[in-house]
Amino acid sequence: MNSNTQDKVMACVDQSHFSEHVADYAAWAARRLAAPLEFLHVIDHHPEIGSGEDHSGAIGVDAQEKLLSRLSSEDERRTKAAREQGRIFLNRLRERAIAAGGHSVDVRQRHGELAETLAEQESDVCMIILGRRGEAAAHDQRDSGRDIGRNVERVVRALHKPILTVTADFREPQRVMIAFDGGIVTRRGVEMVAASPLFRGLPVHLLMSGKESREAGKQLEWATTTLTTAGFAAAAALIPGDAESVIAKTVHQQSIDLLIMGAYSHSPLRSLLFGSKTTDLLRSASIPTLLLR
């Protein structure tokens, strides 16, 4: 996730109120990385919009052709309206990001599925940002159809770049925590943090949860040394117990406002089983979470 002239930060947005939070975090990341920013709005191929009419029953060939033609015209009008609505929405987010310090902000609108579209764009992206379902949406079913958060796991499993998932109002990260399990994914994550300007100057807290062992201690020592050598103020802790509970408690105690963790992968250290709890952690975490693959 080093800054690269061709690699951009890509913010995935839907037309829900969560998108403003995504825009703010995306502008922050792009500014820190000195990277261009692009907003991506994917319009579903099959919007669940009906005319309310009953088209069932047996009809003649001529009537069937007229009906198909009319439905096609209605679909075309809906698609055109969705594109125009999306264009207005994206331009508003673009202006918001520029006002927040984004130096090169573009927008892109596509029809299709989010995960597939992102997979096509991934090669020139250094980081992806999207919203995951917040507490308000959990109680408001009207948002569920547009809620981009339902795609988080599918997107993370389909891609290989770091994905920042955000939940609520923007608050510039001041204290970062890495949920470290000693595995290859979180080791790469430590190296990424050490080399990237994204977190430069911020204190980093390393947390391992699981049974204390000589191997775990050595892994944690390596991570701490890697960060301090790169100029970070790094603190480390190995706390036995359930990963979800330990992480939630430490986030609160240490006033952490951004969590970094491996996603949807089993740790090679059986005693530290962390990756398998990704979904539970995402459900309970109230702060932005950078997911590593």
The helix, strand and coil proportions of the chain, stated in percent and rounded to the nearest 5, come to 45, 20, 35
What's the pLDDT at 202?
A: 96
What's the pLDDT at 204?
A: 97
- DSSP secondary structure code for residue 148 in this structure: G
Phi, psi (rounded to 5 degrees) for 231: 100, 10
> Which tens digit of pLDDT belongs to each residue from 150-183?
567 788 878 889 999 998 889 999 999 999 988 8
Which ranges of the chain have pLDDT less than 50?
A: 4, 47-56, 134-136, 138-139, 141-149, 267-276
What's the pLDDT at 274?
A: 41
| Under 8 Å between Cβ of 286 and 204 | no
What's the pLDDT at 278?
A: 63
Entry pTM: 0.81
Sequence-ordered list of residues with C-beta below 8 angstroms from that of 174, at least 6 positions apart, any chain: 202, 257
Closest alpha carbon to 182 in 144, 221, 152, 151: 221
| Under 8 Å between Cβ of 187 and 272 | no
What's the pLDDT at 280?
A: 65
> Which tens digit of pLDDT belongs to each residue from 203-233?
999 999 866 677 888 999 999 999 999 999 9
- For residue 125, how many C-alpha atoms fall within 13 Å in the half-sphere facing its CB? 24
What's the pLDDT at 215?
A: 84
- DSSP secondary structure code for residue 237 in this structure: E
Which amino acid would we find at residue 227?
L
> What are the structural domains of the chain?
8-46+82-166 (3.40.50.620), 176-292 (3.40.50.620)
What's the pLDDT at 141?
A: 46
